[in-house]
Amino acid sequence: MPRVDFRSLPDHGRLWVFPSSRTLKVEESSGVLKEVDRFLEQWTAHGSELKSGRDLREGRFLLIGVDEAAEAASGCSIDALVKSLRALGAELGVSLVDHAPVWYRNGDEVETVSRAEFKRMAGTGEVSRQTLVFDTSLTEVRALRKAGLERPAAETWHGEVFFTHDGNS
20 and 85 in a common domain: yes
Tell me, what's the pLDDT at 121? 97
Query: Considering 49, 66, 92, which residue would you say is the last residue of a domain?
Result: 92
The whole-angstrom separation of Cα 127 and Cα 75 is: 37
Q: What is the pLDDT of residue 165?
A: 58
Residue where a domain stops, chosen among 92, 122, 143: 92
106 and 149 together in one domain: yes
Give the residue with greater pLDDT, 145 vs 165.
145
Domain boundary among 49, 73, 92: 92
Burial 112-146 (b: 16+ CB within 10 A, else e): bbeeeebbebbeeeebebebbbbbbebeebeebee
Same domain, 50 and 110: no
Q: What is the mean pLDDT of residues 110-133?
A: 97
Is 62 in the same domain as 137?
no
Q: How far apart are CA 112 and CA 117, in angstroms?
A: 10
Residues 131, 82 within the same domain = no
CA nearest 111: which of 120, 102, 119?
A: 102
- Could you tell me the residue range of the domain that residue 122 belongs to? 102-162
16/83 same-domain check? yes
**What is the mean pLDDT of the segment spanning 44-66?**
96
Is 1 part of a structural domain of the chain?
A: no
